[in-house]
Structure 1
Amino acid sequence: MPPAGDGWEPALAAALLGAERAPPAADPLSVSLAVSLAGADPGGALLARLAAHATLHRAGAGLGPEALIPAEPRARIGLECPPAAATRLHGLLADGPSAAARLAEWCTLAAARGMRAPDWLLPALAARRDTLADAIDGIAAPELAWLGRARGDSGEGAEQPADWTDGTVAERRAAFTAWRARDPEAARLALEPVFRKEKADLREALVGALETGLSEADEPFLEACLDDRGGGVRMAAQRLLPHLPAARYAARMARRARAALAIESRGGFPEGTTHSLVVTLPEASPDLARDGVTADAWQNWSGGARATLLRAILECAPPSAFCDHPPELWIGLALQNDWAKPILDGLHAMVRRTRDPAWALALADVLGRACAGDRERPANALIAFWAQALALLPEAAWEARVGAVIRARRFEVLPDLLAHGPDRFSEGFSAALLDGLAVACRGSGDLRQSLGKGGVIGGLGERLWSGADAAASAAALVARLPEEGGGRLREHLMDLAATLALRAAMRRDFEPDTEREGARG
């Protein structure tokens, strides 16, 4: 209902009747307008009356008395960013999704300096929270919450968590996943007695939802799911059980791995001990199939179906299956074996799943020595495998090993190594990499052509440290690149320089005016 005294309805009725036939207005606003517009033509007076009442009507439509209560005072968090940074933020918000990476970086820079966005950009920031919630909340969470309360959407009286026993499959899975996030044990206990009564597609979805909050307490239920009548349910359980190292599933895989791979040692003092890897390819069986180990035709290598079974067993085995010898020995012997590819692929998948630090380090270092030991350029497949193994290391360890490659001027393998690794590089590694690229760009035409493949160099602008020195070094790379033979590398270096220049400018936006004026002077 419109508020008392609203003259919108009478004004609208007058317009429908026509300016000449409308009765005289009786409300105070219309009378006041009639006096002020004395002598005006009837049509113009009616239009002015409609405009005035429409404004008041829209301003008060749907609002109760509580709308007149002033909003709570807003506590200001941090200092407002400098005008240059605010202008940059406005441009990033106007650019839409294409500027998401830069917008997230702007928020990170502001949060690191304890700064906030200006008030006039809060509504635009609120509109981007659905895709960049973490970044935006880091600089504006209290203010956006205040803005929500001022708008009347504070979230009070929000719906209770959805009932996981009702709705579509997607709705029930989402509700059950939310419950698992709050109380994993209670959610699974509630699922167990009714699980068999549900349809297969829902059973599969709910088993998949157990990934949230997964623990050894879920093992008995997941083990039972291996015998479910639904193939999708069995596959969902097979995906989760390898992540439980104390489960019966892991023990079975460990036994199979030890049966497939063994190290034989011969000799001793004074000749020394020699080791060899004995491989026994597994046979397909119902027990293997129950645990999800099957030889799919599209996975077959030249070794045939049994080689794919070997790889799958090693992938699902726990690292403890190989505890009788150090990881370096297993990996080194695997490199020399006729079944090197399925063995190393399986071990790499095991390390990627478990993130075992000793195995990750051994895999990266043994493969690195193998690549360095080749007199000629090592095989592309070996380099790619080494790069993937390095990516399993912590950031500092990855930078240390790739930094050694740069110092050794093995630039031909850099694109493969840089295609993986951390999303952000440290300042020291960034400087070393840019220095190495400066040397590489003065190398042979073949080397420059190799560096230009794949677009890896152009994408480094998002990962390198974004200081002014890095931006200047990247610009110098473009300037010093030989005119002949630049090709794609020139384009990638120009992209790199442009991205770093933009990111460096964003950092300067947050500097106080005095510092920026001093830099210009």
Structure 2
Amino acid sequence: MTRATIEDVGGGPHSWEELVTAALLGTDRRPAVGPPGELLDAAATQTLRRRAGLVPAVAAERPSAAPPDERPELPDAARRRLALLLADRSAPAHAGGRRGSAPDLGELLPQWLALANERGLRAPAALLPTLLDAARARTDVRPQALAFAGPRGVWLAGLNPEWRFALRGGSGSALLPDPKDTASVQLLWDEGLFAERVALLGAVRADDPDAARALLATSWATERAEDRLLFLDSLRAGLSTADEPFLEQALADRSRNVRATAAELLSALPASALAGRMAARAASCVSLDRTGDEAVISVEAPHECDAAMQRDGVVPRPPTGRGERSWWLGQLVESAPLGTWPRRLGGRTVAAIVALPVADDWGDELHAAWCRAAVRQRDPEWARALLGAPAAPPGEGAGTASLAERAKLLSVLAEPERADWVARFISAHGLSEAFQLLGVCVVPWAEALGRAVVDALEIARDAGSYPWSFSGVMGLAERCLDPAEAGRLEGLTATPPEGEGASPGAGGYWAEAFQRLVATLRLRETMHTELTP
């Protein structure tokens, strides 16, 4: 509605502003308005005139209908569970740092969304606003929440500025054309939002890598640098030698980040020309020295970073605290095919190469570069050798002692081997350094890994320490242990007797923590059942 002017509706003997002023100051100070009774009569008259002066505004255009979502509906029990999880997402922290024995529903929301998406179920329309609010507040659930919200969630986000993130970050995969519909694909590529174009390129790449590369080439020269970088990153999926010509051209890109990404992708192709150039450079820096009683690896780091090296992705300026020559050496070695080294170092096996001593304290730099190469080239043989034996004390024997490097190397191994390695590491060293390694293990944890974690927690409890030192691992166990383990854990929910030297009250805290663990596992099992149509 809009308000007409006073002239349109008749100003009367006194304007509205005069009446308001007289009411605020008093009729004694504004006698021209009259006594109080006349003021009220005049105000009532003006109020009626003002209301009568409202004229209808032009109606806004009706929003288009929400697009269809053909996915099956949630079972009733799962819908009620989702409402509870969303309602609990912003619950306040527990007083005094104690979490109690009840499951943390907010921590289970990402897992619930992942399960619902795996089953291809549709989000209830009535819960879409709350779901989008949760995605707005929590970036950790956003991808799963937007996938679950589907096309109707994207449509609804267009009606509320607070949800505009869904238009940028939502893949909108349900709205993407068939990758084989070339006309529709080209139209969306030319006119779509950036997030839609990223999702489209990924979908076409999964269906036909050559078609995706050709699609990218149509607009590559006119894309912004930050967009070229993200589009180029999509070539990681299904990377092959067919991508080499495109990536070689990208080595001349005006953006340094684009050039570096192109070089990284080419170095992941051992047969590429760039990998060959890097192999030659790296081999000239690393050799086998047999002059002593035992063979050692000798290292002569580069003395300059020339233009050709920079074109191939070597960054000339090191980070603060790094020397130039070691910085250049690391980049050359990590970009060289790992097959270079058995030939260069006397035909030795990978394990024997990793075990060789390295002269002049270059060992850490060389091994770290090999770790990066093993991860980039997804080479399990090198990953095993660089991981070393799980029972060996960190820093002793062959392999890397860095937990960050070990976590990345573990991601190269097959899931069962990865879980077995971490289980044996925990059995030998406990949980104090295991958190980062557990993070790369597949959920739910394999039986042996779950047993190793629980056994280590039980040992910590029996030692009388407080459970807060293991809160991160306990939280992982709540989300990652197989729910079938709940029955085996019942015996740990009782309060243990306090031994000599135990921290006061620690037994009660441990009992509470294990009660919460068991309750969470049982709830996860129930969630699985509820999400099964």
What TM-score does the superposition give when structure 1 sets the normalisation length?
Answer: 0.61
Deviation at 1:358, TM superposition (A): 0.8
Residue 426 of structure 1 aligns with which residue? Answer: 446
- Asked whether the 8 Å contact 1:368–1:386 carries over to 2, the reply is no
Q: Find the counterpart in structure 1 of residue 487 from structure 2.
A: 469
| Residues 2-81 of structure 1: pairs in structure 2 closer than 5 A | none
User: SS at the partner of 1:292?
Assistant: coil
Alignment of 1:334-345 (within 5 A): 338-345=361-368
Equivalent residue, structure 2, for 1:244: 269
Residue identity matched to 2:309: L
Query: 1:504 aligned to 2:525?
Result: no
TM-aligned CA distance change 1:92 to 1:193, over 3 Å: closer
- Are the counterparts in 1 of residues 478 and 517 from structure 2 also a CA contact under 8 Å? yes
Aligned to 1:92: 85
Specify the code of the residue in structure 1 equivalent to 2:307. P
1:294-309 maps to which residues of 2 (within 5 A)? 294-298=315-319, 300-301=321-322, 304-309=323-328
> What letter is aligned with 1:323?
P
Q: CA deviation at 1:199?
A: 6.5
- In structure 2, do the counterparts of structure 1 residues 229 and 492 end up closer, same or farther at CA, with 3 Å as the change threshold? farther
Closer, same or farther: CA 177–87 of 1 in aligned 2, 3 Å: closer
Offset from partner CA, 1:326-349 (integer Å, 9 cap, x none): 221222225786112211211111
CA apart distance, 1:132: 7.9
SS in 1 for 2:483: coil
Distance 1:217 1:157 in 2: 25
User: Which residue in the other structure is 2:476 paired with?
Assistant: 459
Contact 1:164 1:175 in 2 (8 A): yes
Offset, 1:501: 1.4
Cα 1:206–1:352 shift into 2, 3 Å: closer
Paired residues of 1:449 and 1:485 also in contact (CA < 8 A) = yes
Q: Deviations over 1:50-88 (max 9, x none)?
A: xxxxxxxxxxx999xxxxxxxxxx99899x67x6x6654
2-structure distance, mates of 1:181, 1:264 = 47
Q: Distance in 2 between matches of 1:165 and 1:282?
A: 45
| 1:278 alignment partner, SS class | strand
- Call closer, same or farther: CA 1:430–1:290 in 2, change over 3 Å: same
Q: In structure 1, how many angstroms separate the alpha carbons of the residues matched to 2:116 and 2:188?
A: 40
The one-letter code sitting in structure 2 at the alignment partner of 1:349 is R
CA distance in 1, matches of 2:359, 2:471: 30
Residue aligned with 2:445, SS: coil
Superposed, which structure 2 residues align to 1:188-337 within 5 Å?
188-189=213-214, 192=217, 195-196=220-221, 206-211=231-236, 213-264=238-289, 274-284=294-304, 285-298=306-319, 300-301=321-322, 304-324=323-343, 325-333=348-356
CA distance in 1 between counterparts of 2:197 and 2:117 reads 37
Count, aligned residues: 415
Distance in 1 between residues matched to 2:79 and 2:234, nearest whole Å: 42
Counterpart-to-counterpart distance in 2, 1:187 and 1:495: 50
Query: Deviation of residue 359 (structure 1)?
Result: 1.0
Alpha-carbon RMSD across the aligned residues, in angstroms, is: 5.3
Query: In the TM superposition, what whole-angstrom CA distance separates every residue of 1:355-396 from its partner, at most 9, and x where no partner exists?
Result: 21111111122575353858xxx9996566545544543332
Contact in 2 for aligned 1:227/1:234 (Cα 8 Å)? yes
SS in 1 for 2:287: strand
Report the CA distance between 1:241 and its aligned residue: 1.9
What corresponds to 1:398 in structure 2?
418
SS in 2 for 1:319: coil
| Residue 249 of structure 1, CA deviation | 0.9
| Structure 1 spans left out of the alignment, 5+ residues | 1-60, 64-73, 145-153, 268-272, 513-521
Alpha-carbon offset, residue 125 of structure 1: 7.3
TM-score scaled by length of structure 2:
0.60
The change in CA–CA distance for 1:366 and 1:308 in structure 2 (over 3 A counts) is: farther
Which residue of 457, 464, 477 maps to 1:437? 457
CA change 1:160–1:361 in 2 (3 A) is same
In structure 2, list runs of 5 or more residues that go unmatched: 1-60, 64-69, 92-104, 136-140, 154-173
Partner of residue 485, structure 1: 503
Matched residue, 2:127: 124
Looking at secondary structure, tell me which structure has more helix per residue. 1
Greater relative contact order (CA < 8 Å, ≥ 6 in sequence): 2
* Contact 1:457/1:493 (<8 A) preserved: no
